[in-house]
Amino acid sequence: MAVSDKAVEFLGNSLNTGRPIPGQSLTNSPDQPYKWEQPSEFVNTGEATTYVFGLLTEPETTSNLLLSITNGVSIIDLASIVLYSGFLEGKWNPDLMTLLMEPTMFMIMALAEKADIDYDLEAGDKDRPNEMSGDKAIETLQSGINELDKIRQMAVSRVNPQSVPQEVREVIEETELSPSLLQRVEEETQSKNLLGREE
C-alpha cells in the first residue's frame, strides 16, 4: 500500500507541533488510563457540590474568580471551566458535571454579589436589547404575523394545480378523513338540576 506525500507531510507536521496522531488515544496502555477513563471520585451530587464549594472558597481561587468576573468573563464560562477541570482530573463523569452546572453557577454568583461585583450570566448579556413594553411587543408580533400572512398568500398564489398528477388529485378528493383520536368529541349533555340529579 502506497502512502501519499500529503499523508507523510501531515504526519510529520503533527509530530513537529506536538499534536496527537489521529487515533493515538486508542492505543494507550490499559494499565495507564487517563483520569476520566477511570471510575470517578464523586458519584453523589451533594458530595460533589460540597467539594466544588470548598474549591471555590479557597482564597486563591476566589480572588482569581472575582478578578475574572471583573474583567467581564461570564458566570457560565467560569462554571464550565471549573467543572471541566474536575472532569479531566477524574472527579466526576459528564453526567454529574451537567448536574453540577447550576449549583456551581449559583455559588460563583453568590461570591460576586458578596464582593459587590456586577456580573454577566452569559457572554454578550450587555449587548442584548432591552425588553419591550407590552404594547410594543404586541405591535411587533402583529406586524410579524402580517408579514407571514403575506408570504403565505404569495406562496399559495404560486402553487400550480397541474404540478400534482391527476391520479393523485382524484385519490385526495375521494379520501374521507376520520376524526382524530385526540379531537374532542362533542356529546349532548342533559341539564342537571341544582341537586346534581338528571332531569
Paired strand residues for 198: 192
Contact 55, 82 (CB under 8 A): yes
Q: pLDDT for 113-163, tens place per residue?
A: 988 888 888 877 666 556 667 777 788 778 878 888 888 777 767 666 666
14-47 confidence digits (pLDDT tens) = 667 766 767 776 777 777 777 777 788 899 999 9
**C-alpha cell recorded at residue 56:** 471555590
94-114 helix and 75-88 helix, angle to the nearest 10 degrees: 140
